[in-house]
Amino acid sequence: MKFGIAVFPGTWSDRDCAHAVTLAGHDPVMLWHKDADLRDVDCVILPGGFSYGDYLRCGAVARFAPLMQAVAGFAAAGGLVWGICNGFQILCEAHLLPGALTRNASMQFRCEPSWLRVENAGSPFTSGCARGEVLQIPVSHGEGRYVADPATLEMLETSGRVAFRYVSRDGAPVDGSSPNGSMHDIAGILSESGNVLGMMPHPERACEPLLGSADGMRLFQCVAALAGDRGTFITTGSR
């Protein structure tokens, strides 16, 4: 199993993702932003950071990188693509996922533990989890408030494309006190085909007990368990 990890100028979680991939027993392949060759990877990870300094908007410049052209084609062919934090922002800017990530409602950078309820356990990224299960995975962002128009939000909800939702430690609704004020408390969403995931929290920073939680490692293991030839997968259902 080969995980490709994108490296843009300003990326800062690429090595953290590589460490998590290695802990999961797989091979990380670093993919430079100027390259258009994905080097036969099975899953592409777009990690967190400040790609190209987050000029214009977060992810707005990265979407035009040669690497992203290859990623778009890979996703269209059913390849697994996983955007984390800035990677989620890039996926939205590239229109591989709907909606946008804006300034946190608090107008503050938030770096703290968060709790996510698994809303869809039928994706390649969550198939080893139970729907309704709560995972402890930290956030670290200043522009992580997910927004979309009412029609898009309804579509995401009714089609089971909300992957994770911010909740309290016990799984109860956060009642507007999520780390960023995301609409519908959305922490992560899936593409229509389910092979692209964008999430703001950082699973690579919850990959071993030393970090306070190993819940993030389960997502890396889920991907490897379902991935087949060149990252295509057999879905286990929409939810």
Please pick, among 17, 85, 92, 129, the residue that the annotation labels catalytic. Answer: 85
Annotated catalytic residue within 17, 93, 202, 207: 202
Q: 């460490």: which residue's tokens?
A: 19
Active site residue 85: yes
What CA–CA distance (Å, rounded) separates 31 from 24? Answer: 19
> Which amino acid, residue 19?
H
Between CA 13 and CA 10 the distance in angstroms is 10
Q: Which pairing describes strands 43-46 and 2-7: parallel, antiparallel, or unpaired?
A: parallel
Q: Which of 43, 141, 204, 207 is catalytic?
A: 204
Q: How far apart are CA 91 and CA 40, in angstroms?
A: 21
Active site residue 202: yes
What DSSP letter does each residue of 166-225 carry, written as one string?
EE-TTS-B-TT-SSS--GGGEEEEE-TTS-EEEESS-GGGSSBGGGTB-HHHHHHHHHHH
Instruction: Supply the residues annotated as catalytic.
Output: 85, 202, 204
